[in-house]
Amino acid sequence: MALSQPVDSEVSSPRRPRVRNPYSRLPNWLYPAFVVVALSLFGIFAIWVVFFQHEGYYAPYLSPFYSPLIKVGPIPPGVWVAWAPLVFRLTCYYYRKAYFRSFFGHPRSCAVPERAGRRYRGETVFPWVFNNFHRFAFYATVVQVVFLWFDAIIAFDFGGRFGIGLGSVLMLANVVLLSGYTFGCHAFRHLAGGDLDCFSCSLAARARHKLWRGVTVLNIRHDRWAWASLLTVAGTDIYIRLLLAGVLHDPRWVL
Amino acid sequence: MELTSLDLKIWRGDAKGGDLVSYRVPVREGMVVLDAVLWVQANMASDLAVRWNCKAAKCGSCSAEIDGFPRLMCKTPIDEYGGRLSVGPMKAFPVIKDLVTDVSWNYQVNKEIPPFTPSDKDLSSSEPWRMQQKDVERVMEFRKCIECFLCQDVCHVLRAHDLKGAFQGPRAMVRIASLEMHPKDVLDRRPLLKGKAGIGYCNVSKCCTEVCPEHIHITDNAIIPLKERMDDVYFDPVRSLVNRLGGRSRKRPAD
């Protein structure tokens, strides 16, 4: 056997010279960098739409930022609506992982060293303790999703005639993805049946078990629903805004 | 290119300190990291301390950090690392010698969790307990735990912040979930979750799920549902009232 004796110890070697995640071929910094860029871009865009824009309706399409449409004085309509999905996403269990890793480095990636700083208290202190109210944001978002379904159906109504435009398809895709994201939420999974200890003990419990299993199917890919729906919310709004500006022409097929 | 030898760095030392020492190990087909470490122990360093038992990823003894990432040595093929890798002890626990760490804190935590507690009626019944498959399959996932403590090791609350007095870690959460969701258990461990178990310190980074060799969905199926159960009592006055009036009132508070 070709053996060799132990070589000299590495003089300044730390206990862990490097961390390589065996479950990912991507470098440790890529995911947090992606999240920072994507969420920052969306955040800036959302602030611009909600606080500085007053128009988001191009018949029969209504921007998801403005649904339901509430116009009171000079206040932009998005202000009345956008807080619900904003709080829902801020307190969402997936986004918590994403922003804690990316913006705060808690942890940036699994097993990597964390930067020294103030004492870590997790979600036990302000403001993170408010993440425990995620279910209330879920309730508010469900109301908005109902309005978005109404808007998506209206988007196929072209002056009393059924039709399909590119905007109709976008709005339908948006509300489908938002529904998948909203109803795959961990809080809803708990409310649907996760809080039960016995799934077979009553008729109601058996029905809730079926619902819980259905929500679990959506919940497994909660991160993908989250990103896909974020993309379609921005994409639908941008499309309607480009129609309003006359930059694009909406291709339609009307009966 | 087929590997013929492995440049293996093993952390050698004790509680006072230590360093990485290099060994050249001949490679056999199908070799795992534990094989290489045991070869070193048998042929080059008979005083090398390493804890192992089954070599089948079922006893949870050979947990270590391979290239800085928590893994079971017996389940890690060396050909994933291209001829060079380092092995160190788990960072979250005190080193005893070389690759052996003192994991006794985990057993102390386990003792602090109130054990399985059936109702007086079930306890006094002479009939065998009957449980539906749908009622037990959820907790069966948690019973797969082999107590390798990789989840404890990778958890940044314990690993980077050393908050062992405040947070009992993912392994404890899995055990609490297995009891709390058991259809025949009647004890209420939610005060424990908010208090001594410190579930609020978890910020859902999901690293515990990533490293689990039994593929238990620790975050999604144990920690998050437990957070939601805690929220029922401490952050949702409506649910708290409903639970008190409804089925959950049957739960007995833990002493």
Supply the pLDDT for residue B247: 59
Token pair 């870590």: residue: A120
CATH architecture, range B5-100: Roll (3.10)
| Interchain CB distance below 8 Å, B68 and A18 | yes
SS3 content of chain A, % helix, strand, coil (to 5): 55, 5, 40
In CATH terms, the superfamily for domain B104-253 is Alpha-helical ferredoxin (1.10.1060.10)
The residues spanned by each domain of chain B are 5-100, 104-253
Measured between CA atoms, the residue of chain B closest to residue A121 is B201
Q: Residue A133: its chain B contacts at CB < 8 A?
A: 231, 235
Measured between CA atoms, the residue of chain B closest to residue A11 is B19
Q: Environment class of residue A124 by beta-carbon count within 10 Å: exposed (0-12), middle (13-18) or buried (19+)?
A: middle
Which one is predicted more confidently, B241 or B78? Answer: B78
| Interchain CB distance below 8 Å, B19 and A17 | no
Mean pLDDT over all residues of chain A? Answer: 91
Q: Residue A120: its chain B contacts at CB < 8 A?
A: 157, 160-161, 163, 201
Supply the pLDDT for residue B1: 56
Q: What is the pLDDT of residues B176-231, one digit of tens each?
A: 999 999 999 999 999 999 999 999 999 999 999 999 999 999 999 999 999 999 99
Supply the pLDDT for residue B254: 67
Q: Residue B210: its chain A contacts at CB < 8 A?
A: 21, 23, 110
- Give the number of other CB atoms < 10 A from CB of residue B137: 10
- Give the number of other CB atoms < 10 A from CB of residue A28: 18
CB-based contact, B157 to chain A, within 8 Å = yes
Contact B33, B66 (CB under 8 A): yes
Residues B196, B199, B201, CA angle at the centre, nearest 5°?
Answer: 100
Which one is predicted more confidently, A24 or A37? Answer: A37
> Mutation test of the interface with chain B: which of A91, A132, A206, choosing the one with the most B Cβ atoms within 10 A?
A132
What ipTM goes with this model? 0.91
Average pLDDT over residues B3-9: 90
Nearest by CB: B71 against A16, A22, A186: A22
Look up residue B251 and give its amino acid. K
Supply the pLDDT for residue A11: 34
Q: Environment class of residue B236 by beta-carbon count within 10 Å: exposed (0-12), middle (13-18) or buried (19+)?
A: buried
What would the two tokens of residue A79 be? 């202000």
The residues spanned by each domain of chain A are 27-250
In angstroms, what separates the C-alpha of B29 from chain A's closest C-alpha? Answer: 15
What would the two tokens of residue A54 be? 């007053």
> How far apart, in whole angstroms, are the C-alpha atoms of residue B115 and residue B226?
17
Q: What is the pLDDT of residues B90-141, one digit of tens each?
A: 999 999 999 999 999 999 999 999 999 999 999 999 999 999 999 999 999 9
